[in-house]
Structure 1
């Protein structure tokens, strides 16, 4: 299984940290990377969210596969890649204008950083909270556990567990504990060197302290 429908939103794992969210008649891609094939035109992005400019999150080849001429792309201020068309540079803390909506979808921009590691300093990247079908879906980007997570609210969390560059299984389980979502989905493991997280370990750690949280592990 590489997709699940939660509260009317279809969440598909594209591999690594890439996801496709489908709800309210919209398709929202986040960090597509090494896509097996190019989607059909009507399956491409209404909205494309990029968390930061590292190659496994901001992949020009994969961005070209999913973007249409009318796709709205959100990129962090620190991202050096230039985009044609509707691309907006954003920073953590932004709740975007136009009635707090992008094409009818509310998106919050939240911090994503390593407090004690050099790989993702604060300001390099962001995370996103997307509201679809009444659900708040949090994509954490690349980060370790950071204090501001205690103020986040989300029904579904997409959390890195790879270790080295991001949270490992223990830190990600701690994030689940403080955010208290309904569903947790691990990501950013098993694709590149230094991302050796074990999703079953993450699931067991979550269930120890939060047995009511559903943990969904997609097949690689």
Structure 2
């Protein structure tokens, strides 16, 4: 009788462990498939958590964003050597007609065979004929989705009376790119306009600050403290003749809101600032 009781106890004990292991296996399976989504053709594919968004400063207002297999050139200037060893562009965003944003010689020299251009109308009007069929023209407030990326055109313009002719309202575009859930803002040439101050849920903000064409570091910091991006990248800070003091900008932002991270990239690698 004692042996039978012992055998029963051992059986119960082993079954309880088996149940635990089974539950553990089910949990592991659930965990491994929690990112699986149903596709249009009813097949299951593994949905990744998202590729890293890589920001590559080129010079002044020019940057490259790489996300998985997608490469985005922002205001490409500097000739083909500036983009040596980088992926050829899938998207090219141009903010304005000024030469530090729209450089025909650079565009002609790059391999843009697979690229779509996103531009304001003023840039489209001056675009090289060979690229006209590649253009998506956006006005302020309009948007488009390309290569899985939402692109919204937002205003960029001057406020100061002495600078109003540099960038008139409606001529150029700032851009908000939504990439894998992250909202990335490129200001283009602008001052601290109401449309910038009212931006929401920006993860990375690239904000210009140079005189006489855009705004002071004080104005840029004030706007950033209003719209509260998670990270702010000062760019486009070389002026004539002065270069804006990015350290002052950082101190102003840090003093106003330490939750905003100021990220300093090297936008002028060939110049001693």
Q: Give the CA deviation at 1:63.
A: 2.2
Q: Between Structure 1 and Structure 2, which shows a larger proportion of strand residues?
A: 1
Pairing of 1:20-169 with structure 2 (within 5 A): 20-35=64-79, 37=81, 39=83, 43-79=87-123, 80-83=125-128, 84=131, 85-96=133-144, 101-116=145-160, 117=163, 118-153=165-200, 154-169=202-217
Taking the aligned partners of 1:166 and 1:17, their CA distance within structure 2 comes to: 12
In structure 2, relative to structure 1, the CA distance for the partners of 1:206 and 1:33 (3 Å cut) is same
2:122 aligns to what SS in structure 1? coil
2:244 aligns to what SS in structure 1? coil
2:81 aligns to what SS in structure 1? coil
Taking the aligned partners of 1:214 and 1:184, their CA distance within structure 2 comes to: 6
**Which protein is bigger by CA-based radius of gyration?**
2
Contact 2:80/2:110, CA 8 A, preserved across alignment: no
Taking the aligned partners of 2:212 and 2:150, their CA distance within structure 1 comes to: 32
Taking the aligned partners of 1:61 and 1:210, their CA distance within structure 2 comes to: 42
Taking the aligned partners of 1:127 and 1:89, their CA distance within structure 2 comes to: 13
* TM-score normalised per structure 1: 0.88
Q: Give the CA deviation at 1:136.
A: 0.5
Runs of 5+ consecutive residues of structure 2 not aligned to the other structure = 1-50, 269-273
Equivalence for 1:3: none
Aligned positions, number: 209
Runs of 5+ consecutive residues of structure 1 not aligned to the other structure = 1-6
Contact 1:78/1:123, CA 8 A, preserved across alignment: no
* TM-score normalised per structure 2: 0.71
Q: 1:214 aligns with which of 253, 257, 261?
A: 261
Taking the aligned partners of 2:242 and 2:206, their CA distance within structure 1 comes to: 15
Q: Give the CA deviation at 1:64.
A: 2.9
Taking the aligned partners of 2:57 and 2:256, their CA distance within structure 1 comes to: 25
Q: 1:187 aligns with which of 219, 227, 235?
A: 235
Please give the per-residue CA displacement for 1:5-40, whole angstroms capped at 9, x wherever unaligned: xx9211111110111111142111111222471646
Contact 1:24/1:132, CA 8 A, preserved across alignment: no
In structure 2, relative to structure 1, the CA distance for the partners of 1:41 and 1:86 (3 Å cut) is farther
The Cα RMSD (Å) is 1.9
